[in-house]
Amino acid sequence: MTVMNVVHMRVKPGQEAEYIRLHKDFDIKSMPGGRNFWLVKTGERNFTVVGEWADMEAMVAARPAMIASLDKLRPILEDLGGGRGVTEPWSGEVALHLGQ
């Protein structure tokens, strides 16, 4: 079953272009089970990363690569507050998909 990971991040002032540039290096399709990747600007300095995976096993296997990508981003990310750190991650199986 298709799995998605969704991660909210806030970029430090003046770092939006660098944040986008660093994400261009993330090649989800080079990972087994990786299908699609979106970077969505959800507000001023706020972004949400969305990854689509063939199944949970594929997403779990890709975690080291996702963490390595996050490690490159950490210096330009702002703490989200409330004990969340620099990311607010969610993942799970797709319950409903409408569209193509």
The pTM of this model reads 0.90
**In this predicted structure, what is the pLDDT of residue 31?**
86
What is the residue extent of each domain of the chain? 3-93
Q: What is the pLDDT along the chain (100 residues), one digit of tens a residue?
A: 899 999 999 999 999 999 999 998 888 888 889 999 999 999 999 999 999 999 999 999 999 999 999 999 999 999 999 999 999 999 999 999 998 7
Three-state DSSP at 100 gives coil
The number of C-alpha atoms within 13 Å of 24 and in the hemisphere containing its C-beta is 6
Q: Report the CATH number of the 3-93 domain.
A: 3.30.70.100
Can you tell me the distance from the alpha carbon of 71 to that of 20, in angstroms, rounded to the nearest whole number? Answer: 15
95 φ/ψ sector (left φ>0, alpha ψ -120 to 50, else beta): alpha
